[in-house]
Amino acid sequence: MSTQEGQEIIIDYYKFKNFRREENSVVFAVECENKEVDVDNRAEIESFLKDIGKWDCLVYSGVFLLSDLKNIYSTQKNNPEKYLTKFGVDLYKPALVTIEEKKEKTDNCILKIKIDLNETELQKRLLQKYPALLVDEIIKQVENIPKWIVFQKTLRNLREVKP
């Protein structure tokens, strides 16, 4: 799987862009369109990124559940390959979010994000001679955060339903 050059992910009024690898980290920018970036935006993005990997972990668990119910689902024929590897919020250190200074007055404000693997996962991947952290891994994780948020809202709504 390879990253499309210049890939951008738009979620609400935030634009996630410029994904790239720096040593064992993935770094990217978050632009806040038509709005000054402030401490509240930084806190919102930090909170948002705490959900990285949760949707994939849910799907990963579901794959195993469904594969155990062999009459319903066959993982070898129907399982998306991307969910055969381990995912989860516990693989990553908390995202480092910094506010980048504007270069021009007309520029949108930017948050710079840095995501690293935790030490255990980093060492495990390095021992397996697997690339430590791939840009595509983080792009997919960021794309899946809105799905996780909708799932959480659905669960809250279901709890409100009375039989």
Q: Calculate mean pLDDT across residues 62-81.
A: 58
Q: Pick the residue with more confidence: 98 or 77?
A: 98
2 part of a folded domain: no
4 part of a folded domain: no
Is pLDDT of 103 > 90?
A: no
5 part of a folded domain: no
73 part of a folded domain: yes
16 part of a folded domain: yes
120 part of a folded domain: yes
State residue 141's pLDDT score.
87
State residue 111's pLDDT score.
86
State residue 98's pLDDT score.
87
3 part of a folded domain: no
Q: What is the residue-averaged pLDDT of the chain?
A: 79
1 part of a folded domain: no
Is pLDDT of 77 > 90?
A: no
Domain around 76: 10-160
Report pLDDT digits (tens) over 106-155.
Answer: 566 788 999 999 999 888 888 887 777 888 889 988 998 999 888 988 88
The Cα–Cα gap between 149 and 36 comes to 25
How much is the CA Rg of the chain, to the nearest whole Å? 18
Secondary structure of the chain as H, E, C letters? CCCCCCCCEEECCEEEEEEEEECCEEEEEEEECCCCCCHHHHHHHHHHHCCCCHHHHHHHHHHHHHHHCCCCCCHHHHCCHHHCCCCCHHHECCCEEEEECCCCCCCCEEEEEEEEECHHHHHHHHHCCCCCCCHHHHHHHHHHHHHHHHHHHHHHHHHHCCC
Q: Calculate mean pLDDT across residues 52-57.
A: 86
Q: Calculate mean pLDDT across residues 8-29.
A: 89
Overall number of domains in the chain? 1
Report pLDDT digits (tens) over 78-100.
Answer: 545 444 456 677 888 988 888 87
Q: Are 118 and 93 in contact (CB under 8 A)?
A: yes
